[in-house]
């Protein structure tokens, strides 16, 4: 399951997935295990995404139903999950008020969108839009978490990183 995050209220797009490599044009950061060779060109890897919540316990139940595994919950201010596939983690933290705007979009990639949506419906998760083939070659369905964050269940396969219109480097 991959994760993508769009902070639309700031019109900033940040893509996240398990084992995602972010190549920065002007700055390369050596991972900690290679600190002895800073001249070497290296990359970064996504570790974690954290989103705000007005009610962490309620959000924990929602994300468990989505299929994430709870790995940290020491108090009702914070919780962290593992995705079933990959190394990235996903967490929620308590806030007294949510930011204004369109909020956060989190993309979870699955092999079979229709099957996952059927599973979520069986778990009493409300679906805002049913699976649909999109013009950007992804199949998507949409829902919201208890705090109104946009959740997109999708499948893109090769088209996620290698669409026909990918910039040639």
Q: Which CATH number goes with the domain that contains 68?
A: 3.10.180.10
Query: What is the C-alpha to C-alpha distance for residues 21 and 41, in angstroms, rounded to an integer?
Result: 13
Q: What is the reported pLDDT for 169?
A: 85
Instruction: Please report whether residue 54 resides in a domain.
Output: yes
Answer yes or no: is pLDDT of 25 > 70.
no
Q: What percent of the chain has pLDDT over 70?
A: 75
Instruction: Please report whether residue 72 resides in a domain.
Output: yes
Cβ–Cβ under 8 Å, residues 128 and 40: no
Give the H/E segment covering residue 66.
Answer: helix 56-66
Cβ–Cβ under 8 Å, residues 130 and 141: yes
Q: What is the reported pLDDT for 41?
A: 58
Q: How far is CA 107 from the centre of its chain?
A: 5
Instruction: Please report whether residue 80 resides in a domain.
Output: yes
Answer yes or no: is pLDDT of 14 > 90.
no
Mean pLDDT of the chain: 79
Q: What is the reported pLDDT for 24?
A: 25
Domain tally for the chain?
A: 1
Of the pLDDT bands very low, low, confident and very high (cuts 50, 70, 90), residue 44 is confident
Cβ–Cβ under 8 Å, residues 150 and 103: yes
Instruction: Please report whether residue 167 resides in a domain.
Output: no
Model confidence pLDDT, tens digit, residues 45-100: 778 899 999 999 999 999 999 999 999 998 999 999 998 888 889 999 999 999 88
Number of neighbouring beta carbons within 10 Å of residue 55? 14
SS3 156: coil
Greater pLDDT, 97 or 32: 97
Q: What is the reported pLDDT for 102?
A: 81
Greater pLDDT, 115 or 13: 115
List CB contacts of 158: < 8 A, sequence separation 6 or more: none
Instruction: Please report whether residue 11 resides in a domain.
Output: yes
Q: What is the reported pLDDT for 5?
A: 45
Instruction: Please report whether residue 112 resides in a domain.
Output: yes
Instruction: Please report whether residue 35 resides in a domain.
Output: yes
User: Domain residues for 26?
Assistant: 3-159
Instruction: Please report whether residue 132 resides in a domain.
Output: yes
């Amino acid at each position: 399951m991959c994760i993508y995050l769009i902070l639309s209220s700031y019109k900033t797009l940040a893509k996240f997935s398990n084992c995602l490599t972010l190549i920065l044009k002007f700055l390369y950061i050596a991972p900690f295990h290679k600190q002895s060779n800073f001249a070497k060109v290296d990359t970064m890897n996504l570790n974690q995404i954290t989103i705000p919540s007005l009610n962490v316990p309620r959000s924990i139940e929602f994300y468990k139903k989505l299929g994430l595994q709870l790995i940290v919950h020491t108090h009702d201010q914070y919780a962290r999950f593992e995705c079933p596939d990959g190394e990235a983690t996903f967490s929620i933290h308590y806030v007294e008020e949510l930011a204004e705007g369109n909020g956060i979009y989190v993309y979870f990639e699955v092999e079979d969108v229709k099957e996952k949506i059927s599973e979520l419906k069986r778990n009493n998760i409300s679906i805002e839009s049913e699976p649909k083939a999109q013009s950007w070659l992804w199949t998507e369905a949409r829902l919201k978490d208890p705090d109104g964050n946009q959740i997109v269940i999708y499948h893109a396969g090769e088209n996620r990183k290698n669409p026909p219109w990918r910039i040639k480097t």
